[in-house]
Amino acid sequence: MIEEIKLMLGEAATNYTDAQISLALKIASAEVEEYCNRELDSTLELMAQQIAVIKLNRMGTEGVASQSYSGVSESYIDGYPAEVVAVLNRKRKIKVM
């Protein structure tokens, strides 16, 4: 799975070690399993990979909503993209108490 994440990162993959990519994937997988209340299947593995890429791209910008310098402005997306959340919601198992 690390190789797939490197493909999604493109040239930015050189900025991360395999250990960093592996840790981001481990955290993303745990988040997906916890949110969906189920083990990862092939679709959820893909979502975990996408979330890992998002986590890697956000490294170093934790807590920053937006910034501006020398006439250049940047803003950051909060949460995950709607298409990722939609898949997770479809796969989610509801806990009954």
pLDDT, one tens digit per residue, over 36-94 is 999 999 999 999 999 999 999 888 665 555 667 777 766 666 688 899 999 999 999 98
Query: What's the pLDDT at 72?
Result: 74
Burial of 48 (0-12, 13-18, 19+ CB in 10 A): buried
pTM of the complete model:
0.80
- CB 1 within 8 Å of CB 50: no
Query: What's the pLDDT at 44?
Result: 96
Query: What's the pLDDT at 57?
Result: 86
